[in-house]
Amino acid sequence: MTVSLRRNGQEKLRLPVDVKTDGTLWAKGIPLINSTASGIDMDKAKALVSTKKYSEIPIEWLIKLGDNAGGLVAVDTAIEQKAAQAAYEKENPGAKEYAKIMNRIYIAKKHIHNFDDYADTGAAYNDLAKAESELAAWKIAYPKEAAEKEAEDFIEKAEKEESQAVGAMIYDCDGSLGYEDQVERRDAFLAKAKGFRAMADEVRRIS
């Protein structure tokens, strides 16, 4: 299990742990100490850990899954991610189907481009055509989600242009570009990025 240790909503540490029958969390065979536990003597706690006298450490000083003293919260990240996914799928009912369709498209394209691994390339083209037809139907069935996917694609393109804009100012393979040339290239990339972001905003506005 992986836990996220948080205080005031901010993650302080993330690490793999084991959960003992008493609910305490251990990492690499060592119990996790809650430094903000009520009445804790950190010097004593450190001494007991260094001498491996774990059984003598008061359980109140140890971190357990869930709420702990001092506002420390230990969250099971797998459960949290599962809950977040369930909430996302409830809000976006077409999410699962979309993921399955996109996976079929990915596999079909992989077989097409790596035909040595797939003797019947024609079947791969058929699989791709079928999956793309399913995607078209999905967009009709889930217009709002389809619009959001389109907007996300525009944002991804914008981020790529913005990354190239940064590169335009720091990379010149042969030294042939002057400063003004670099600025011109940067501004061109940024203009494209701005256009893509505007497209994303418009898609979301009309959806």
Query: Lowest-pLDDT range, 48-52, 89-93, 182-186?
Result: 89-93
The span from the CA of 112 to the CA of 169, in Å, is 38
pLDDT tens by residue, 95-153 = 889 999 999 999 998 888 876 555 666 888 899 999 999 999 999 999 999 999 999 99
Q: Any residues with CB less than 8 A from the CB of 161 and at least 6 apart, and which?
A: 189, 190, 192, 193, 196
pLDDT band at 54 (very low <50, low <70, confident <90, very high): very high
| CA 197 vs CA 65, 98, 162: distances in Å | 42, 23, 11
Q: Minimal CA–CA distance to 32: which of 10, 68, 4, 64?
A: 64
The span from the CA of 201 to the CA of 154, in Å, is 9
pLDDT tens by residue, 161-189 = 999 998 887 756 556 677 888 889 899 99
Sign of CA dihedral 41, 46, 51, 56: positive
The token pair that represents 74 in the structure block: 């230990």
The pLDDT of residue 53? 95
pLDDT tens by residue, 31-49 = 999 998 989 999 999 999 9
- DSSP letter assigned to residue 76: E
Residue 68 has pLDDT above 80, yes or no: yes
The span from the CA of 17 to the CA of 23, in Å, is 11
The span from the CA of 29 to the CA of 17, in Å, is 9
